[in-house]
A = this chain, B = another copy of it.
């Protein structure tokens, strides 16, 4: 079996061979830029791994993996505009490095190319099924981003609404990638379903991990300033959980932190973390994350392929499980 790193290298090679030399350069250079600034290529790699459970010829799944990575980066590009984000993976975002119009139009052409790559798969009989999954995923991601923006404007958001939002915005893309890999590998409908559910559950776990890292991560490993979500008053799982379990007095203290702009940044972060610690929010969030990871592992266990082939996915879930902060 190939290792995670080997799958990453195979995908990276394929991606590099598909960089744009097309004209007009103003349209395509930003596409190469955002695709080059990296990330772990988690989604396409999971598609390839899912495919590898059923078919060893990784090449057959590469066009679909590229489609998923291009779709993902398209959503990052446009989300960064909507969130007015200055940086992505430590580099200037496209609309900052170039301009707003470039950000919009280069993103648009990426979405079209995602479809273009998808239909390059060798097995044309799979195209209709792949497109059906791909369309649903792309629609869900748009809806998730809209809910995310809506929540910023709203006073009250429930934990259930938050979980639904991160499912749409993050988890369905991972689920869809794994479902597509399975479909391309001629998995049964049932097997594809279990892989999709595995992806959906680890996707939600990943997002909860992200929320944890932003507040409790080791600054030397995390790569961005710890407490950023608190400074920005973001309604993360941690905050929503705290509001749910706090008594009236603690809830008022927490709400006061988020409504007092004059409070100094480090003091605000410190006060909120004190409240989180008092309410055991870190532990409660870890528990929730583990619940999703356990569910993911159940779905993996239900797939009737050899343990040897599944070990890479089990390791991935275990790594995430063990990564206490």
Contact = CB atoms under 8 A, between A and B. Distances in A.
A142 B108 contact: yes
A151 B236 CA distance: 45
Contact of A142 (B112, B143, B150): B112
A19 interface: no
B146 A26 contact: yes
A24 B147 contact: yes
A65 to B, nearest CB: 18
A194 to B, nearest CB: 25
A74 to B, nearest CB: 8
B78 A146 contact: no
A82 B105 contact: yes
A131 interface: yes
Interface in A100-158: 101, 104-105, 107-109, 111-113, 115-116, 119, 124, 127-128, 131-132, 135, 138-139, 142-143, 145-147, 149-150
Interface of A: 22-24, 26-27, 78, 81-82, 101, 104-105, 107-109, 111-113, 115-116, 119, 124, 127-128, 131-132, 135, 138-139, 142-143, 145-147, 149-150
Given A27-B143, A105-B146, 8 more contacts: A24-B146, A24-B147, A26-B150, A27-B142, A81-B101, A105-B142, A115-B115, A127-B131
